Amino acid sequence: MGSNGDSQDWLEDDVSVETSRPRLKRPRMYKVIILNDDYTPMDFVVTILERFFAMDRETATRIMLQVHTRGSGVC
């Protein structure tokens, strides 16, 4: 065997470092919890769900009634 410098030269020649890019995922969407109260009219809740959450009237009404009867709902 040769000197220390000779024996380690082959180790350095065979080593390669490959950088990789991190894999990015789309972030999860937020879940909005709606709570029932005694002040907000039901029609207003349906309108908000239609306008800002892009729901059709049937889906918005179903969620509004669920919130009204159970106390909360997720959209």
Residue 33: DSSP 8-state: E
- How many helices (H) and strands (E) would you count in the chain? 3, 2
What is the reported pTM? 0.62
* pLDDT-based confidence at residue 5 (cuts at 50, 70, 90): low
- pLDDT at residue 44, rounded to an integer: 97
Report helix, strand or coil for 72.
strand
Q: Which of 11-15, 28-32, 66-70 has the lowest mean pLDDT?
A: 11-15
* pLDDT-based confidence at residue 20 (cuts at 50, 70, 90): confident
Cα atoms found within 13 Å of the Cα of residue 51, Cβ hemisphere only: 6
Residue 47 has pLDDT above 70, yes or no: yes
Q: Domains of the chain (ranges plus CATH)?
A: 24-74 (3.30.1390.10)
Q: Which of 67, 70, 69, 74 is nearest to 45 (CA)?
A: 67
